[in-house]
Amino acid sequence: MNSAEAKDEILLTRGFAETWRMFVANRAAVLGLVLWTFVVLLAFLGPLLYPQDPFDMAGAPMTPPGREFFLGTDYLGRDVLAGIVQGARVTLLVGFSATGFTVIIGILIGVFAGFYGRWVENLLMRVTEFFQVIPALLLCMVLITLFSPGLGTIIFAIGIVNWPPIARLARAEFLRLKGLEFVLAERAIGAKNNRLMWRVILPNSLPPLIVTSTLSIGSAVLFEAMLSFLGLGDPNRYSWGYMIGASRDYIWDSWWVVTFSGLAIFFTVLSISLIGDGLNDALNPKMRLQ
């Protein structure tokens, strides 16, 4: 390890400690982290503690919440609590997988467009604009209809329609930062393009990208719910969006199915948003000076 890499590692460790200190000082961010921890535990430990198959007809149809079924049953007699527990894992899988796909594409395109400029920027931004002018939900529906409403297709479709905002944001941050003194100093001492892009400029672009990426997780969860509501979800996977879509015709007779699954989506998206805002404040150098 050379001196430059050792210096980067020391600065990274100190920066992480300072970021964590700022994060835990934010009560809203801590609340979001608590909610998120509960959702993750529900997804991974819930099926072990409550191993009921959500597709099984466990009781009488549209049984209201009570002693026999804590959250009631749907129009087919399926246990709503089992659906919430088992559906958490699928919902989070869609959210994170689609967002990961979105972030990778968006950052790659934004980084190369913002760093190299000229014809590279023009070409990549024209591709970005092509995807941005098409209604995201409509394109998502078309992609799923053309292939099949499977989980992989849904993840791909959601990821491919949500990357333009991240690409444009990454490009804007690179255009803003690449001419600053610390970047010029790194270039003057012989730093290569790869180091400038990934080790110098990108870390300083993270605060807005983190917020946008965390919001993309919530957006992916909502997209999955909308697609399921329209009947384009994976019929073989039980998710919170599937619960809402399957019970949409019975909302007045069994309101609890849509309500509890909707609340699960709401608190998940809320927790991610609070964490993203907390990280944005913690990674913002101006906030550390206050």
CATH fold group of domain 38-288: MetI-like fold (1.10.3720)
Residue-range domain boundaries for the chain: 38-288
Q: What angle do CA 108, 112, 114 make, to 5 degrees?
A: 115
pLDDT at 14 over 60: no
Q: What b-and-e string marks burial along 237-250, b requiring 16 or more CB atoms within 10 Å of the CB?
A: bbbbbbbbbbbeeb
Q: What CA–CA distance (Å, rounded) separates 222 from 240? A: 10
For 55-87, how does the pLDDT look when each residue is reduced to its tens digit (9 = 90+)? 888 888 888 888 888 888 888 889 999 999 988
- Contact between 11 and 261 (Cβ < 8 Å): no
Closest CA to 87 of 153, 147, 151: 151
**What is the Rg, in whole angstroms, of the alpha carbon atoms belonging to the chain?**
22
For 275-290, how does the pLDDT look when each residue is reduced to its tens digit (9 = 90+)? 888 877 777 655 554 5
Confidence band, pLDDT 50/70/90 cuts, at residue 6: very low
